[in-house]
Amino acid sequence: MIKIKICGLRRIEDILIVNKYKPDYIGFIFAKNKTRTITLEDALIFKQSLNNDIIAVGVFKDNDIDEVINIANSGAIDMIQLHGTESDLYILEVKKRTSKPIIKAYRDSMYADYSLFDNINPGSGKTFDWSSIKTNKPYFLAGGIDINNIELAKKINPYAIDLSSSVEVNGFKDEEKIKEIIRKVRE
């Protein structure tokens, strides 16, 4: 069965919604200067309230490696998503300093556990050419997936579907949209 990730949680209300509908993964964004960026302090509070069956992913984009390691080892997240230009050497160093699984966006890395394919402008709600995906790894599919194209996304058989702006209203997570899309993925 295809897994579901709801990314960009930034309020306690978001945690209460996902606890109710139980996606497999959620994302806390630590990338700099993003609308949905949260602090480590917020992530620690949210993680305490998050259902233990939901895996918390920390999303980073070219962050300082010590910051990534600090957050990874803080207890706030269960996995690391690298969404920038991080090299294989960077990924290897992260692997040496933490035991958290790693998702690498935009390309396969022999050192990452998963790949993620997204629009070049993450969080824009725009799709990209899914036929360009070539990988031997389990992968997360992101970028413009919504209730109107979820069936097409399921047909390319990703490991997980990663959603953010498509489950928001006025920039905030929406319970009805989350409920509807999770139901659609799992049916």
Q: Sorting pLDDT into bands at 50, 70 and 90, what band is 7?
A: very high
Residue range 111-161, pLDDT digits in tens: 999 999 987 665 556 676 788 888 889 999 998 899 999 999 999 999 999
DSSP 9: -
CA angle, residues 114, 8, 127, in degrees to nearest 5 = 65
pLDDT of the residue at 75? 97
pLDDT of the residue at 170? 92
User: What mean pLDDT comes out for the span 61-83?
Assistant: 97
Q: Do the beta carbons of residue 5 and residue 26 sit within 8 Å?
A: yes
Structure tokens at 105: 């966006």
Helix boundaries (H) for the chain: 12-21, 40-49, 65-72, 88-97, 150-155, 175-186
pLDDT at 108 over 60: yes
pLDDT of the residue at 133? 87
DSSP 35: T
Q: Is the pTM value of this prediction over 0.85? A: yes
DSSP 50: S
pLDDT of the residue at 129? 74
Q: Give domain limits for the chain.
A: 3-186
Instruction: For residue 162, list its beta bridge partners.
Output: 5
What mean pLDDT is reported for the chain? 93
Structure tokens at 44: 């620690």
Structure tokens at 27: 């994302």
pLDDT of the residue at 44? 98
pLDDT of the residue at 128? 66
Residue range 41-56, pLDDT digits in tens: 999 999 999 999 999 9
pLDDT of the residue at 9? 97
CATH 3.30.1370.10 assigned to 3-186: no
**What's the burial of 29, exposed, middle or buried (CB within 10 Å: 0-12/13-18/19+)?**
buried
CA angle, residues 93, 94, 98, in degrees to nearest 5 = 125
pLDDT of the residue at 174? 97
